[in-house]
Structure 1
Amino acid sequence: MSDIDSVTLNFTPGSLVALNIVLAAIMLGIALDTTVADFRRALTKPKAMAVGVAAQFLLLPAVTFVLTLALDPAPSIALGMILVACCPPGNISNVLTHRAGGDVALSVSMTAVSNVLAIFLMPVNLAFWGGLHPDTRALLRSVDLDAASMITEIALIIGVPFVVGIWLASRFPAVAARVQPWVKNGSLVALLAFIAAALAGNASYFAAYVGVVLVAVFLHDTIALGLGYLCGWATGLPEYSRRAVSFEVGIRNAGLGLGLVFTFFDGLGGMAVVAGWWGIWDIIAGLVLATVWSRRPARRKAAA
């Protein structure tokens, strides 16, 4: 199994540019549906926001660290799991929250705030937990990870399209409203197609390690979704808000993680396969959970 640590997946520079464009389009889609009022709304629900942010950036990476120690996968797989846990939420979380009958306003606000925070917190979390792990520490040293370069890369993929999207939504709301569904849905389909193509193009590697990756991603995603809900329950949030927090913690922007794997880790096998499969599986798991919850209406009480 350790062979996967020396495998680099096939990925051309042109493909990486295309992936970054798709990721930027996803962020633009989120931003076109975000306004300054969403950030103000976040201030009206400080408890729910604090719970969601803490669960994403403090608890999930810590729990993932423990999970990698328990499963003891190949180092590159473990680092891939840590990387995904450090990613911000994906915009599909808002769709799933709506389908589940959860607090969509909280979900949108949390996605916006979390993506801004991720520009700085994601590199810090990856460096800390990856450096703390006895098996992944050597991988981080081998690539000489530069936090400043990663912050710049994330800022270009997340920050720039986010600022542009919010500006367009504020300056030209009618145009933004018409364009947003196409950008949001089109970029999501493009990302899924991109991930599927990447996995298919490296099918031999995926087939060789599919067992451990399926188990790792299944457990990891289940724990992430459960962690969000449990944090909401433990802090007294109503069911309406717990569902939103659950999807904000459980749905990660694994596409961003995949882009970073190819940018900073040269397509390292275990990391790329974990990020690629997570990007597909968390949507499947999220849709199943949202469908189950949609049959049980939640109490629509505003979060504190």
Structure 2
Amino acid sequence: MSLSICFRPFPSCPQTHTRIRLRPLGPTISKLTKLPNLPTIRSVLENSDHPSVAPAEPRWEKLLSTAASLYPLYVTAGAVVACFRPSTFSWFVKRSPASYTLSLGFIMLVMGLTLELRDLLNLFIQRPLSILFGCVAQYTIMPTFGFIISKSLGLSPSLSVGLILLGCCPGGTASNVVTLIAQGDVPLSVVMTVCTTLGAVFLTPILTKILAGTFVPVDAIGLSISTLQVVVTPILLGSYVQSTFPSAVKVVTPFAPLLAVLASSLLACSVFSENVVRLKSSMVGASLSPDLSPLQFVQAILSGELGVIILSVFLLHFAGFFVGYISAAISGFKEPQRRAISIEVGMQNSSLGVVLATSHFTSPMVALPPAMSAVIMNIMGSSLGFFWRYIDPSDSQRSPKVDDK
């Protein structure tokens, strides 16, 4: 389902609207306003005389949209199942890496079906400074902290590469929904996601080669080709289909976000289940017995290397959220932009990390940090979004601001 949302400023602000026909995996944004004051979100279910408000959507589309927004719940529940019954996902794991690659390609195709590159280009021309700053922050903060954390915690070479690879991935589509919840700058978040995703063809392999090449050999060219195949090509194909066959796309659009969310959850949980078997047998297998209670079982798992992996992934995303916000604040951006940059930097495309790890590295442990990220990142991002939801972003309007001209 598509939820049409109108961003309307207070009466004291000029009414300048930028139209973007772009739908991330979550609520559809049909009108976006670039204004310095706090916007109010008007649902299509409310009575309003604003001309941009669309008619109410059918109930079944609302149910689909609500189901798609529960991505953190799906991936968390799947991780619990993978921990206790990893064989549940064996049918998908046995077909890897082809199954992983096709899943990511489908997710990126959905992203392409819901955007028009011409609108993105127009917005980039209108707001180059904040978009450029956000993209630079994405590809400097997370790769750097991925390297620092892996060194500080003394991770094994395979896990260090996996954490660095995760940090070098572009922003994830879930960040757009979290930014909306947090009352952040949604247009900035959407454009940052697309720009960093397209830039991943060159930046993800190069940065991984530079930072992780000291641990294991990194095939930068192979990573670039894979990223082009499973990310950029589906996005461009989806955008072409959207512009060429709009009627057909309109029919499938209500179902696409939920299917993409389920595919992403299946991908992350399958990789996690594959490594849980290996972790239990190699690290804590001696301390486990069939008589352990579920709580004791979890404690035994976390006391081993898996606990260190969870800590490293948590620290990486925390650094992204915190340093992303601080750097945007120091640079003079307004509060909505700070929140969007913080969320965009802190939330990675963990699915891409999983696919690249399983396709180009012999050790399956490389894929574990990106797989764990799908669970930890969404819990952290959703919590931050709901925290900011109740803090008025206009409170910082008196601070120095950077405006795009």
**Secondary structure of the structure 2 residue equivalent to 1:90:** coil
Shift of 1:15: 2.4
Query: Structure 2: how far apart are the matches of 1:274 and 1:138?
Result: 16
Alignment gaps of 5+ in structure 1: 1-9, 132-136
Structure 1 partner of 2:264 = 191
Structure 2 partner of 1:290 = 385
Equivalent residue runs for 1:233-244 within 5 Å: 233-244=329-340
| Counterpart among 203, 207, 220 of residue 147 in structure 1 | 220
TM-score (norm. length: structure 1) = 0.87
Contact 1:51–1:231 (8 Å) recurs in 2:
no
Query: Structure 2: how far apart are the matches of 1:15 and 1:154?
Result: 17
In structure 2, the CA distance between the partners of 1:92 and 1:181, relative to structure 1 (3 Å rule), is farther
Shift of 1:217: 0.9
Query: Structure 2: how far apart are the matches of 1:195 and 1:219?
Result: 19
The answer to which structure has the higher helix fraction is 1
Structure 2 partner of 1:6 = none
**Match of 1:53, as an amino acid?**
C
Shift of 1:12: 5.4
Shift of 1:38: 1.5
* 2:266 corresponds to 1:266: no
* 2:314 corresponds to 1:225: no
Contact 2:108–2:235 (8 Å) recurs in 1:
yes
Contact 2:317–2:377 (8 Å) recurs in 1:
yes
Shift of 1:150: 1.5
Contact 2:93–2:274 (8 Å) recurs in 1:
no
> Over residues 199-236 of structure 1, what are the superposed CA-to-partner deviations in whole Å (9 max), with x where a residue is unaligned?
22432434342210111111111111112212211111
**Secondary structure of the structure 2 residue equivalent to 1:221:** helix
Runs of 4+ in structure 1 over 6 Å off: none
Equivalent residue runs for 1:165-176 within 5 Å: 165-176=238-249
Question: Aligned Cα RMSD in Å?
Answer: 2.1
Equivalent residue runs for 1:94-133 within 5 Å: 94-131=176-213
Query: Structure 2: how far apart are the matches of 1:272 and 1:152?
Result: 18
Query: Structure 2: how far apart are the matches of 1:241 and 1:178?
Result: 34
> Over residues 67-88 of structure 1, what are the superposed CA-to-partner deviations in whole Å (9 max), with x where a residue is unaligned?
2222222222221111001001
Equivalent residue runs for 1:67-78 within 5 Å: 67-78=149-160
Query: Structure 1: how far apart are the matches of 2:265 and 2:363?
Result: 18
Query: Structure 2: how far apart are the matches of 1:102 and 1:174?
Result: 32
| Counterpart among 279, 282, 288 of residue 374 in structure 2 | 279
Structure 2 partner of 1:134 = none
Shift of 1:43: 2.1
**Match of 2:205, as an amino acid?**
P
**Secondary structure of the structure 1 residue equivalent to 2:165:** helix
Contact 2:168–2:204 (8 Å) recurs in 1:
yes
Paired residues in the alignment total 285
**Match of 1:280, as an amino acid?**
V
Alignment gaps of 5+ in structure 2: 1-89, 280-300
Higher RCO structure (Cα 8 Å, ≥6 apart): 1
